[in-house]
Each structure stands twice: as C-alpha cells, then as structure tokens.
Chains A and B, each alone.
Chain A
C-alpha cells in the first residue's frame, strides 16, 4: 500500500464564510486528508457538516480561506494563469447533486455534453465532436437519439448520467461526486453507482464520493471520512469504519441508519451524540490521531489511549 501515489493532499483546509463578521460560518474548519490515485474516498456527514463545501473548495468553486489543496504536487489555489486553470479543469471534474438543476434547460443534450470538448478544443471538426458525444452517451447507457433532446424530457437518473457524460468529456483523472445519488430513486441509485464503478475501472479514475447515505457510500468507497460541523472526526478504510467506529459521533450516525431488515430494525437501539460528552479540558489538544494503521480519529490524548486500548484486544 505504501507505493500508492498521492493524487490529492489536503492540508489544514479552512473555508470560512463572512469571516470576522457576526454571522461568520466556519464551514470547513481545518481539515486534512489525502486521496490516493485510483481509490474511491467517501466523505459523509449530515447537512451543515461541510462536506459539500470541502468538495467545492477543492475544485476551486470557492477560494480557500486557509490551508492548501495540492493536486499532483501543484497547489490548486493562489494566483494561476488561465492556462494553468484550464489544466486543472481538465484533470478535476465534478458531478452534482440535483439532476434537475445541473443541466442548462435551454441546451440540447449534445451541447451540454460537448461544452467541455468545445472549451478545451478536444475535437477538430464537427463530426469528431458528435462522434465523441455519441460515444459518451453510449458509455453512460443512453442512445444516440438522445443527443438532440432537451433536459426536461429525461428522468432524474438519465439526467444524472448525462452529467457524468459531461464530466467525462474532458477525460479527467479525478472526479468529485457531490451527493450524486441523493435525489434519485432507489433502483436508479444502483444503476448510477454501478456505472460509476465501471467507469472507474475502465478509465482509471479517482473519486471523492460525497454523500449522506452511508450504506451506498460503504459499498462504493475504499476509505471513508466522517465530518461533523466542519471538522473531520474519523477516517478509516470502509469496512474498518463500520466494524469498529471509534468516535462517538460516528457511532451515533451508524446507529441511526435504518436497514431494510425488519428483524434487525426491531432490535436496533439508537445512540445519540452529545458533543459536550467529551468533556474536553481547556488545555487538551484535540487532534486527528492515527489509532491503528490507516484509522484516524479526532480526539484528545486521553481518548487516544482509550481507543488504542479498545482496538487492540
């Protein structure tokens, strides 16, 4: 595992809105993690935890208030020339949550998908452009005839697939999927997730999968980070997180998910999380510490020792 290349390094990322004013919101409050090439990194949390903001800051839709985002060795933020920005645009792409708002209602599907191709000059002629569009449509499971239609004629799942085709058009290496399936029906979610998995293998993609549906995230992710109020509280390989959640918030989150299984539902007991229960003293340093290899938890020194003891039996 040690030879895995780091594609993205996020160091002490901060995204504060209305900084210094009364209504300051620390949406992302010092978050650090790495993403390795070829992996699927899941990012979960509830509304307001900052996961979407993290994704958008990484891709530069927002300018970071502090910290660094280093993609393939190059800092993403800061002053960049147009050419450099365009390069980032080709390497990093994003899939959005709302299939009904993520496509321009006035454009034909062919134009929606080909926008990236046009901007980056990836096709030298009209025919080549359409060829690429048709190929992309087929890759995501749609037909050639769909190219001349408008977004409102498609269902949510189909629109989401069009959004994926659009992102793929520029041949990116890294895709941030911001709640890509939350707005879809259950059986369609599986379609989209299967498609994403297939594409990852075929095109050697790296994903940051942001979601609040933990069962789906566990299925697709290699590692998962849990966020709470702007901080990452736990990060571990997917199986490990579910088998051995250490941070009390993670435990409460996992205990709240209803499973499609009446027998287990009847006996499930929910744990609730109270941030005050940590009882942190004034001078305790709360840091993101590695309890077991690959498993990080935001905790004080005391808690760290507790967790280490728990995990070693």
Chain B
C-alpha cells in the first residue's frame, strides 16, 4: 500500500558565505516525508539538521546563505523557487514550525489569545469571533486548563511547558500538512518533556499531520519517530525506520551515537565515545566526512564519498563498509546487543549479509555522491 509523499527534498546543497569563506553546510541532502508519519532528523551541532528544515521554510538569512542546487517539492511546487509572498502563504498554514526555546518563541507583549488567532485570521480569513472560538478549542486540545481565562494572559504568566503547548497550538491552528519541530523539548525538564511528547503524538493522530522532528536525544527519537535520518557533516549518513536504526544500524557514526549513550545495562566499562570533533565545513574533507573519527576507516574513505547502500527497502546507509569488497567488521558491544534484539524482532539476520549484491544508490531522489 503506497503511502502518499507529502514532501520531497532532492539533492539540496546550501552554503553560507562568511568572512572566512564559503561554508558548505548542506552537501547533497535528499529525503521524502510521507503523510501522517514522524520523521526524526538526528545529528549533532554542525550536522546541518536545523539548516535543512529552515531551508524548507525558507527562513535562512538572505544576505549570506545560498541554496546552490536542489529542489524541495511540496504540493506540486518547488519551494526553493517561490517568491517571498508565496512562501508567506505556506508558512503557518501548510507548513508550521516550532522552535526550541518557548520563552523567545512567543511575543511577550501580546496576549496568548491574539498570538493564536493571528494565523487563523490571516490565513483562513476568519472573523475575530470565529477565531476566538477556534482558539479556545485549540487551548483545550493542547491541554491548557481554564482556557477562557488563559486566553487573555501574557506569556510570562505561563510556565515553560505551558508556553510550549501554546506554541504548538499556534503551529497547529490552521491544520498544517507538515509540522517541523526543531528541538522542541530540549529546553524542558524531563517530566514536562514527556508530557509534551505525549501531546504531540496525540495531536498527530487527531490532525493527521506529518512531523519532522529534529533532536540530538536518541531517547526522544525512540519515543516519537517512525523513521529516522541520521545527519553528519551536512549529509544524511543513514536513514531507515526507527527499529532498523536502533537495532540494526550500519553506519559507524550511528554505532558511535548509540554506543555513547549509557543505558541500564552499561556497566563500569568505558563508554564508547567518538574521538575528535565534527568537521569544519569551511573546507569539507575529501571523501567521507566521518573518516577522521571513524575507528573502522579504510583507505577508500579518504578518497571517495560513499554512496547510499541499500540495506532494505526502507533502510539505506552511506558507508563503504557495506560495499561487497569491504572487510567484515565487528560493531561495538552495545550495538551487537541490539542486533541480537533485532534478530528476535524480525527473524532476519542482520549485518551486511542482507545487502543486495552490487546495489548502489537505489534510494529515490538520490544522485551519486560527488
């Protein structure tokens, strides 16, 4: 059963022009977003995850950013080519975004009610009365008690978690097709985070919106994501369903991420940590950007960028380790434990054995790595 594709990002290349030169922040990113799913984009600082989503919304600073090539297809239009006025119609209405810091996402001098009503009046031409009704509904929907009183209050009268709920209400006011959430719970306490994540999943079911969820917290990813894209050095290095990524990861960077998070079984042994720091995209390294920190690095990683190798219909990883000629490597213990879990799950044996022979990038929309 084919699920509808809502968004297609094809071979996006974005650079920033700074004093020191051109920073190639996004170097060939492609992915699709399906209706009703939650796609998590995981990565660390400098991986390009925020830049990618901001480019979907065309929120990158105009004076020094440049979309060098690529397409973002939404509802039959290429968002990279739209004029600002046309983008304004889409923002808040078809695609909404929520950010990390609820304190600065809301206008401190405007009542909450007015902030929620703004997109309703502007995009859907509602009368103030109708907008107010809908706002009360939205406040109830996001779990804010006594909405009739709260609607006239200011942001400083709300706690952090409450503010984030209001932000979500504003974002969902016009029932957008896509909700982009850029680290929405990173600044919240653990218990509040749990509440907000529950709320988002609940709302997603009710409104049938697709969510792109950016985070660096793998626990949160495990909680919300249907599919996961792992980004490093401005590219997607691995993409698959949540189960595939957590229980059968193939890229050494994903291995590193998973092994560096202690869980209940981690004993006194040293936490596996990826040495070094992410690459400087001012001068992206030749070949695989992860090579300098890759304990399994091979000669070819220093020369050629790996293309995507297919692990399953839904699972692709860009690492030369999946090439038929590559030696078999033992992933870290933490990963091996998970792979055993995976065997139990699907009955399919894991590792490079499941790779189709000679397949290079059959991932839709991906061009060969440059």
Whether the Cβ atoms of B261 and A215 lie closer than 8 Å is yes
Binding site for A on B (CB under 8 A): 44-45, 160, 189-194, 197-198, 216-223, 225, 242-243, 246-247, 256-258, 260-264, 266, 270-275, 277-278, 341, 345
**Contacting residues, chain A, for B277 (C-beta < 8 A):** 155, 157-158, 188
Whether the Cβ atoms of A156 and B45 lie closer than 8 Å is yes
**Contacting residues, chain B, for A263 (C-beta < 8 A):** 243, 341, 345
Residue A200 at the chain B interface, CB threshold 8 Å: no
Whether the Cβ atoms of A194 and B271 lie closer than 8 Å is yes
Whether the Cβ atoms of B258 and A190 lie closer than 8 Å is no
Considering only residues 174-194 of chain A, those with a C-beta below 8 Å from chain B are 185-191, 193-194
Binding site for B on A (CB under 8 A): 46-47, 155-158, 185-191, 193-194, 197, 212, 214-216, 218-219, 242, 252-253, 256-265, 270, 272-273
Whether the Cβ atoms of B273 and A191 lie closer than 8 Å is yes
Chain B's closest residue to A243 (CB) is B264
Shortest distance in angstroms between A37's beta carbon and chain B's nearest beta carbon? 19
Q: How far is the CA of A256 from the CA of B194 in the complex (A)?
A: 6
Q: How far is the CA of A232 from the CA of B190 in the complex (A)?
A: 18
Q: How far is the CA of A242 from the CA of B219 in the complex (A)?
A: 17
Q: How far is the CA of A258 from the CA of B278 in the complex (A)?
A: 26
**Contacting residues, chain A, for B275 (C-beta < 8 A):** 191
Q: A188-B44, A258-B220, A258-B223 are in contact. Are A270 and B194 (CB under 8 A)?
A: yes
In the complex, which of the residues B44, B197, B263, B271 contacts A261, with contact meaning CB atoms closer than 8 Å? B263
Q: How far is the CA of A256 from the CA of B257 in the complex (A)?
A: 21
Enumerate 22 A-B pairs (CB-CB under 8 Å) in ascending A order: A155-B277, A187-B256, A187-B274, A190-B274, A191-B274, A193-B271, A193-B273, A194-B271, A212-B189, A216-B262, A219-B262, A252-B191, A257-B190, A258-B197, A259-B222, A260-B246, A261-B263, A262-B246, A263-B341, A264-B222, A270-B194, A273-B191
Q: How far is the CA of A270 from the CA of B191 in the complex (A)?
A: 9
Shortest distance in angstroms between B261's beta carbon and chain A's nearest beta carbon? 5
Chain A's closest residue to B245 (CB) is A262
**Contacting residues, chain A, for B270 (C-beta < 8 A):** 194, 197
Shortest distance in angstroms between A39's beta carbon and chain B's nearest beta carbon? 14
Contacts A187-B274, A194-B271, A270-B194 known; 16 new A-B pairs at CB < 8 A: A155-B278, A156-B45, A187-B257, A190-B271, A190-B273, A212-B190, A216-B262, A218-B262, A256-B190, A258-B219, A258-B222, A259-B264, A260-B221, A261-B246, A263-B341, A265-B223
Whether the Cβ atoms of B194 and A262 lie closer than 8 Å is no
Q: A186-B216, A190-B272 are in contact. Are A260 and B261 (CB under 8 A)?
A: yes
Chain B's closest residue to A192 (CB) is B273
Q: How far is the CA of A256 from the CA of B190 in the complex (A)?
A: 6
Shortest distance in angstroms between B338's beta carbon and chain A's nearest beta carbon? 8
Chain B's closest residue to A254 (CB) is B190
Shortest distance in angstroms between A254's beta carbon and chain B's nearest beta carbon? 9
Q: How far is the CA of A272 from the CA of B243 in the complex (A)?
A: 28
Whether the Cβ atoms of A47 and B222 lie closer than 8 Å is no
**Contacting residues, chain A, for B258 (C-beta < 8 A):** 260
In the complex, which of the residues A190, A219, A258 contacts B194, with contact meaning CB atoms closer than 8 Å? A258
Q: How far is the CA of A235 from the CA of B274 in the complex (A)?
A: 33
Whether the Cβ atoms of A262 and B222 lie closer than 8 Å is yes
**Contacting residues, chain A, for B274 (C-beta < 8 A):** 187, 190-191
Whether the Cβ atoms of A46 and B45 lie closer than 8 Å is no
**Contacting residues, chain A, for B222 (C-beta < 8 A):** 258-262, 264-265
Whether the Cβ atoms of A219 and B271 lie closer than 8 Å is yes
Whether the Cβ atoms of A187 and B246 lie closer than 8 Å is no
Q: How far is the CA of A157 from the CA of B275 in the complex (A)?
A: 11
Whether the Cβ atoms of A46 and B44 lie closer than 8 Å is no
Whether the Cβ atoms of A46 and B256 lie closer than 8 Å is no
Q: How far is the CA of A216 from the CA of B217 in the complex (A)?
A: 13
**Contacting residues, chain A, for B198 (C-beta < 8 A):** 270
Q: How far is the CA of A219 from the CA of B264 in the complex (A)?
A: 9
Chain A's closest residue to B44 (CB) is A185
Q: How far is the CA of A190 from the CA of B266 in the complex (A)?
A: 13
Q: How far is the CA of A158 from the CA of B277 in the complex (A)?
A: 8
**Contacting residues, chain B, for A273 (C-beta < 8 A):** 191
- Which of B218, B246, B260, B278 gathers most chain A CB within 10 Å? B260
Shortest distance in angstroms between A247's beta carbon and chain B's nearest beta carbon? 14
Q: How far is the CA of A157 from the CA of B260 in the complex (A)?
A: 14
Shortest distance in angstroms between B152's beta carbon and chain A's nearest beta carbon? 24
Q: How far is the CA of A261 from the CA of B260 in the complex (A)?
A: 14
Chain A's closest residue to B266 (CB) is A219
Whether the Cβ atoms of B217 and A186 lie closer than 8 Å is yes
Shortest distance in angstroms between B342's beta carbon and chain A's nearest beta carbon? 10
